[in-house]
Every structure is written in C-alpha cells, then in structure tokens.
Amino acid sequence: MQQRQFPRVNAFLKENLPFQQYKLSPNPLAIKLSFLVNFHCILSGGKPELSLANALVVLNSTAEDGEIEVRISVGDSSNMVDAAVLEKLETGYAKLAASDSKSLLKKYLTKEIFDNLKTKKTSFGSTLLDVIQSGLENHDSGVGIYAPDAEAYTLFSDLFDPIIEDYHGGFKKTDKHPPKEWGDVDTLGNLDPNGEFIISTRVRCGRSLEGYPFNPCLTEAQYKEMEDKVSKTLSGLEGELKGKFHPLTGMDKTTQQQLIDDHFLFKEGDRFLQYPDVSREVWDLRREGENLMAANACRYWPSGRGIYHNDNKTFLVWCNEEDHLRIISMQPGGDLGQVYRRLVTAVNDIEKRIPFSHHDRLGFLTFCPSNLGTTVRASVHIKVPKLAANRSKLEEVAGKFNLQVRGTRGEHTEAEGGVYDISNKRRMGLTEYDAVKEMNDGIAELIKIESSL
C-alpha cells in the first residue's frame, strides 16, 4: 500500500490519528472518510523537510477483505481545500444525488467528476463548492453552477464543458468561439416602422473586468475599486451616451424613488426589477435571486454597486449586479438598428478604457455559463394576437430562427394580450452580429405571418 512509501508520515499518523473513533461500516465498499491533518515530517528518499505541511488523508476501503488504504497528498496548505468545505461538498452532493433535480448540475456531476474536482482550488481561492453551491441549495435550478472566477472555467472544465455543450446547443469542448464581430450595423433597421406590432426593443451584453474574480470571490475593497473605475470610465462617455452614475451606497431617497419610477433599480437578492424591457433580468422569477444569494453573489451589498443611465434613458449600465457590467441599450418601438448601434458604440468605447475578461475558446466570460460567448441577448416585446392563438405556428418559426419565446413575465409564463418577449437563443459559436441578425430575421418573419392571418 502507499503508506509504506512514507514511513515517518505513517508513524505520525499511527500515533496521532484517532482511528478508533470511526466506526467502520460492515460493507467495506461503502467506507470513505476524508479529513485534514497538520504535521511536521521529513519524507523518505531524500525529500526536503516540509514544516507543518498540510496533508489530505483519504481512507478508502475498496478491498473485499476490508483492507484500508491511506492515500496522502502533501503540499502547500494554501492550495488545500479546507476540511469544512469538503464536508459541505460531500453532504450537498449526497442530497443532490438523492433528489429529483432536473438541473444540468445533477445531470453531469458524476461521482467520478465530483471526486476529481472536490480538492481543487483556483489561484483566487475558489473551490468546487463556490461553483456548485447554488445548485446544491436550489434543486430546482435549471443550470445550477456559476463561475467564481475566470480560472474556474479551466480548472473545473470537466464539469463546465458538458454543461456548456448541453445549454448552448452542442458547443463541444473542441469548438472555439469566433472572434468578436459586430458586423455592419447599417444593415439592421426598423422592424416595425408603422408601430403596429413591436412595443419595445432591447439589446444587452455582459462583461467581466480583466484581473478581477467574479462576485463570490470579490473583497469589499475590490468592489469599491471596480465601482470607482467604472464610474470614472462611464463619466467619459459623450453624445447620446452621456449620463450620470448613481452608486447604491448612500443613495438619497429622491434619486432612489426616481430610479424606482424609471424601473431601473435592481435590488439585493430578489432582482425582481419591474422594468418592462428587461425581460430575463426582471421576470425570470425570484428563484434566480435565490440562486445568486446561494452563490454568494450579493456579499457586502450595496457596496460597490451602481447604476448608470444616459439623459434619454435609452442606455443603461449595471455595475456589479450579477456580472461586473451589464450593458443595455433599449427604446420603445422596433428600431433594432438604432438600439444595436448604440450598444456597439458604447461597448467599443468602454473597452478602450477597461480591458474585459476573454477566453480564447469560450469568448467573453461571465458569472453564469448561460451567458458565455457573445453574451448578447437581443429581444423585443411584440404583440402578435393571431399567432398567439396558433402557438404551434409561432413555435415553428421560432425554432427555424433559433428564437426563444416567453411571456413578458419570464420563462414558462403566458403571453398577456398576445404580447411575447422574443429573443435570440444562441450566444456561443457565432458572432455578435449573427446572433442579433437571427433575431432580426425571425421577428421579420413573424410580423409577415401575423399580417397575413
């Protein structure tokens, strides 16, 4: 057994580990105990001395005769996962495995992958618990995982890759997201010049600042530093993008009420924003807020959070809500070209001043893997009462153009008065322009059919 390779370690373990306190199961295949031990030892074979090294000791009974194997991994304690974290992981995983959860987390977190990833830690200190805690606590999650930092997408790729492939329609781990390409903005115009069908149009994207972890790992100082950096950057915007940044910390009641009246104010945890054009962020149920709370995305609230909007209130930036930045362009009516042009101008301007976190294979990185790649969601609130009465035809066209159809109050809600929130479904494996163009072409087809009925 491995323990014979470490005579002095074994002597320490034999003398100091209270093996007798563990009552071993009659079934040797069911025994698995994990804990951390600090000790002072000199490894055999001329290895250097490790003072107070941190050894992960795993007792695993796999032999039919009940033989216990001791496996020891010695290294810098800063790279070791804390015993309390391991205990939470084991407990949470057992509950998830026994649940009837339909989440992608449960679907792809096999015991083999769990055991392989549970002792890993990123350079920011993120563990598997940071990745899956939301899904462990909310079994009704659709996805169930978040990336605590950019490095997590690589270190925990055994879990992220299959979930990304499933969610993003076959984006395999061998695929590579194309470079950023906004395309020719002038090819997009007004989808509803007579104002008969489209109530409002919106295009948004998410961005993470390079060099910073995501929400769960940010310190309060980093939150404030990022807010200051973002505020100064946005104050340099000109033309129709010119506006004002409103920190949530210390916000006076007059400003707060105005932002509530404008439906711009986001809140801690519930994120039930009540903004008529912010479909996903607003109406995707309080459950998502619970997921974010479980994922430790609301620490130090409201420190480091803020909202920027231009004078015309057609351009909005959320700072440190779910992602570091959520950049939104919107306006009443169906002029997708104007809305898209405004977003492209803003993102390009901001990007000159603040470098964004980008992955060669996955594209732009976000807290939730559902937003990876282009991170772009282009949507309209559209009134199509005749198609609403023929839902199968509506879904047929949506499928053809990769559109997502939902009620204006979020996924799994019905249309009110024949009004739907319709957006592009694909975000990975295509360019920003192609993602928006799919939505453009699909909406044009829906309007054509609605007009003919």
The pLDDT of residue 72 is above 90 = no
**Main-chain phi, psi angles of 266, to 5 degrees:** -95, 155
Check residue 257 and give its pLDDT.
82
Lowest pLDDT segment from 136-140, 209-213, 403-407? 403-407
Has residue 17 got a pLDDT over 70? no
Instruction: For 185-218, write each residue's pLDDT tens digit.
Output: 999 999 999 999 999 999 999 999 999 989 878 8
Above pLDDT 70, what percent of the chain?
A: 73
Binding positions for ATP are 200-204, 263, 326, 377-381, 406-411
Question: What are the residue boundaries of the structural domains of the chain, listed by start?
Answer: 1-80, 86-172, 185-452
Angle made by CA atoms 30, 34, 36, in degrees to the nearest 5 = 170
Query: From the annotation, which residues make up the binding site?
Result: 200-204, 263, 326, 377-381, 406-411
Question: Considering the chain, what is the average pLDDT of its residues?
Answer: 79
User: For 392-414, what is the mean pLDDT?
Assistant: 79
Query: Yes or no: is domain 86-172 CATH 1.10.135.10?
Result: yes
Q: Is the pLDDT of residue 54 over 80?
A: no
Which of 393, 369, 384, 450 lies closest to 415, judged by CA? 384
Reference 415, options 390, 393, 383; nearest CA is 383
d(CA 276, CA 452): 28
Q: How many CA atoms lie within 13 A of 271 on its CB side?
A: 25
What per-residue confidence (pLDDT) applies to 49? 35
Q: Which residue has the tokens 């961005």?
A: 207
Nearby residues of 163 by Cβ (< 8 Å), 6 or more positions away: 104, 105, 107, 108, 143, 145, 369
Q: Among 30-34, 204-208, 373-377, whose mean pLDDT is lowest? A: 30-34
pLDDT at 297: 55
Kindly indicate the confidence band of residue 43, based on its pLDDT and cuts at 50, 70 and 90. Answer: very low
Please say whether the structural domain 185-452 has been given the CATH code 3.30.590.10: yes
Q: Is the pLDDT of residue 415 over 70?
A: no
What are the φ and ψ backbone dihedral angles of 357, each rounded to 5 degrees? -75, 125
- Residues 270-327: tens digit of each pLDDT: 332 233 333 334 334 334 444 445 545 567 878 889 999 999 999 999 999 889 999 9
